[in-house]
Amino acid sequence: MKTKLYQLEKQHNIKIVHACESGSRAWGMASPDSDYDVRYIYTKPIEWYLSISEKKDTISILEGDFDAVGWDLRKTLRLLKKSNVAVLEHLYSPITYLSSPNFIKEIEPIAIDCFSPIAAMYHYLNMSKNYTSAITENTKLKSIFYAIRTTLAGQWVLEKKTMPPVLISQMFELVPISIRKQIQELLAIKSVQNESYTHDIPKELIKWILFTIENNELYAKSLPSGKPDLERIDQFLYKQIML
For the chain (243 residues), the mean pLDDT of every run of 10, in chain order, is 92 97 95 93 96 92 86 98 98 96 97 98 97 85 95 98 97 97 97 94 94 98 97 97 92
What's residue 216's pLDDT?
Answer: 98
What's residue 1's pLDDT?
Answer: 84
C-alpha count within 13 angstroms, C-beta hemisphere, residue 101: 1
C-alpha span between 176 and 207 (Å, rounded): 13
Would you give the DSSP letter of residue 140? E
* Beta-sheet pairing, 36-43 with 66-72: parallel
C-alpha span between 74 and 49 (Å, rounded): 9
Angle at 106 between CA 167 and CA 103, to 5 degrees: 70
What's residue 198's pLDDT?
Answer: 93
What's residue 97's pLDDT?
Answer: 97
- Provide the Cα torsion 195, 201, 207, 209; round to 10°: -20
Cα diameter, the chain: 58
What's residue 161's pLDDT?
Answer: 97
Terminal C-alpha separation, the chain: 24
What's residue 35's pLDDT?
Answer: 87
Residue 140 and residue 209 in contact, taking contact as beta carbons nearer than 8 Å: no
Q: What is the value of pTM for the model shown?
A: 0.94
- Left, alpha or beta for 34 (phi > 0: left; psi -120 to 50: alpha)? beta
Candidates 26, 54, 59, 56; CA nearest to 42 is: 59
Residues contacting residue 63 through CB under 8 Å, at least 6 positions apart: none
C-alpha span between 166 and 184 (Å, rounded): 16
C-alpha count within 13 angstroms, C-beta hemisphere, residue 104: 17
Strand partners for 198: 140
What's residue 136's pLDDT?
Answer: 78
What's residue 54's pLDDT?
Answer: 86
